[in-house]
Chain A
Amino acid sequence: DTGVSQDPRHKITKRGQNVTFRCDPISEHNRLYWYRQTLGQGPEFLTYFQNEAQLEKSRLLSDRFSAERPKGSFSTLEIQRTEQGDSAMYLCASSPRNSDSNQPQHFGDGTRLSIL
């Protein structure tokens, strides 16, 4: 399967702990996106990378959140000092190289985070 891969699929942690998620985009996709989805809602944009450069961050991305894409391939999303409100599905998506805005983003199956 050469789709977007996310790890872990599920994460349960205590409030106050740090968590890190990984996303491996579709090979050759130079754009990578992170979204957050809560129950019954559509995904909300968090941040976007083109290659290794983080080009946009949503106001939803507080200073406890940090995302990296050091080599322009996989990406990590870290949440520090987790809070109850961080419980959600964290989705990663990627889109093709040299695409314009009219290209669909392909999503992974997400990491479901539960804060105890």
Chain B
Amino acid sequence: GESVGLHLPTLSVQEGDNSIINCAYSNSASDYFIWYKQESGKGPQFIIDIRSNMDKRQGQRVTVLLNKTVKHLSLQIAATQPGDSAVYFCAEIPPAGASKIIFGSGTRLSIRP
């Protein structure tokens, strides 16, 4: 079935370094992908999205890369800060409709001072 998975459940990064969170997806027909950040006790917060006709998109301190050949998605966070500590989910919206988002199980990012 459809699934969105993550390579690493936890990631520890030194403050100021760059973080890279990876994600694999299985539905090659998916055409829209989103990264969400979820802090403890809060709902998922939209970070950045990318359409399947793009391979890279940049935001403020964040970059999403999409490799459709190997069905791989990554989130890069530049100059990681303590406030970046959270669980990060990649998610896909299948092409069948505008309804459900399929989330992976998340990667917890922790920042070392």
Query: B-contacting residues of A (Cβ < 8 Å)?
Result: 4, 31, 33, 35, 40-45, 48, 55-56, 58, 91, 93, 95, 99-110
Q: Cα distance A108–B46 when bound, in Å?
A: 11
Given the known A-B contacts A31-B98, A55-B99, A101-B93, are A42 and B46 also in contact in the complex, defined by CB atoms under 8 Å?
no
Given A42-B89, A91-B43, also A104-B34 (CB < 8 A)? yes
* B94 to A, closest residue via Cβ: A101
Give Cα A9–Cα B44 distance, bound, in whole angstroms.
15
Residues of A contacting B83 in the complex (Cβ-Cβ under 8 angstroms) = none
B-side interface residues toward A, CB under 8 Å? 4, 31-32, 34, 36, 41-46, 49, 51, 89, 91, 93, 95, 97-106
User: In the complex, are the beta carbons of A102 and B51 less than 8 A apart?
Assistant: yes
What A residues does B98 contact at CB under 8 A? Answer: 31, 95, 99-101, 103
Q: Give the complex CA separation of A89 and B42 in angstroms.
A: 10
Partner of A45, one of B34, B36, B44, B100: B100
CB contacts (< 8 Å) of B4 on chain A: these are 42
Considering only CB atoms, which chain A residue lies closest to B97 in the complex?
A101
Out of A45, A56, A99, A110, name the residue touching B101 (CB < 8 Å): A45
B44 touches A91 (CB 8 A): yes
Nearest B residue to A91, CB-CB: B43
Cβ–Cβ contact B100 & A101, under 8 A:
no
The distance in angstroms between the C-alpha atoms of A101 and B45, with both chains bound, is 18
Contact A48 B104 (CB under 8 A): no
Inter-chain contact A102/B31, CB cutoff 8 Å: yes
* Contacting pair A109 B105 (CB below 8 A): no
